[in-house]
Chains A and B, each alone.
Chain A
Amino acid sequence: MLWYKAWLETRSRFLTSLATLTVFCAVFVHHAQGILRPEWTPAYNRLLYIAQQYIVVLWILAVVLLGMGGIVREKATGASLLTLSLPVSRALLLGVRVGVGVLEAIILAVVPWTAIFLVSSHAGMPILVSQVGFYVLLLVAGGLVYFAMAILVSCLVEGEYTAPAMAFGVVFLTIIAFDAWLRPLNLWRLITGDFYIDRHTYLLSAHFPWLGALACLFVSAVMLLVSVKVVQRREF
Chain B
Amino acid sequence: MTGTPVIQTRDLTKSYGGVAAVRGLNLSVEPNRITAFLGQNGAGKSTTIKMLLGMVRPSCGDGTVLGKRITDAKENCEMRRSVAYVAENKPLYGYMTVEQTIRFASSLYSDWRTNVAKKLLNEYKLPLQRKVKSLSKGMRTKLALLLAFARRPELLILDEPSEGLDPVGIELLLQMLVAQASQGVPIFFSSHQIAEVERVADDICILDNGRLLVNASLDHLRESYRRIDLVFPFAPPEYEFQIAGVERIHSQGHEMRVFASKNAEAVIEHARDLNAVSVEVAPVALRDIFLETVKEN
Contact = CB atoms under 8 A, between A and B. Distances in A.
B195 interface: no
Contacts of A77: 91, 94
B95 A85 contact: no
A5 B55 contact: no
Interface size class of B (residues with CB under 8 A): 20 to 34
A85 B80 contact: yes
A8 B100 contact: yes
B238 to A, nearest CB: 46
Q: Name, among B55, B88, B109, the residue most crowded by chain A CB atoms within 10 Å (CB to CB).
A: B55
B92 A1 contact: no
B93 A5 contact: yes
Interface stretch (A86-94, A121-129, A217-225): A86-94
A87 B80 contact: yes
B190 to A, nearest CB: 13
Contacts of B85: 85
A100 B85 CA distance: 27
Contacts of B56: 235-236
A195 interface: no
B235 interface: no
B137 to A, nearest CB: 12
B104 A79 contact: no
B80 A235 contact: no
A79 B54 contact: no
A236 B93 contact: no
Contacts of B92: 79, 82
Given A8-B100, A82-B92, A235-B56, A87 B108 contact: yes
Given A89-B73, A232-B73, A79 B93 contact: yes
A236 B108 contact: no
A57 interface: no
Contact of B77 (A74, A88, A235): A88
Given A8-B96, A84-B55, A236-B55, A1 B91 contact: no
A81 interface: yes
B81 interface: yes
Contacts of B78: 87
B89 interface: yes
A3 to B, nearest CB: 10
A224 to B, nearest CB: 19
A86 B91 contact: no
B95 A9 contact: yes
Given A87-B109, A235-B57, A82 B77 contact: no
B107 interface: yes
B109 A82 contact: no
A128 to B, nearest CB: 41
Nearest to B147: A82
Given A1-B103, A1-B104, A86 B55 contact: no
A41 interface: no
Given A81-B55, A85-B85, A87-B78, A9 B107 contact: no
A5 B87 CA distance: 19
A97 to B, nearest CB: 13
A79 B54 CA distance: 15
Given A8-B93, A77-B94, A79-B92, A84 B77 contact: no
B53 interface: yes
Q: Name, among B87, B91, B108, the residue most crowded by chain A CB atoms within 10 Å (CB to CB).
A: B91
Contact of A82 (B54, B57, B91, B107): B91
Contacts of A236: 50, 55-56
Nearest to A91: B73
Contacts of A38: none
Given A80-B91, A232-B73, 10 more contacts: A1-B107, A8-B93, A12-B95, A81-B88, A82-B91, A85-B55, A85-B83, A87-B81, A87-B108, A235-B55
Interface of B: 50, 53-57, 73-74, 77-78, 80-81, 83, 85, 87-89, 91-96, 100, 103-104, 107-109
8 contacts: A1-B108, A4-B100, A78-B87, A78-B91, A85-B87, A86-B80, A87-B81, A87-B109
**Which 10 A-B pairs give the minimum distances between C-beta atoms?**
A1-B107, A81-B87, A78-B91, A87-B81, A87-B80, A85-B85, A79-B91, A236-B55, A82-B91, A84-B55
Interface of A: 1, 4-5, 8-9, 11-12, 74, 77-82, 84-89, 232, 235-236
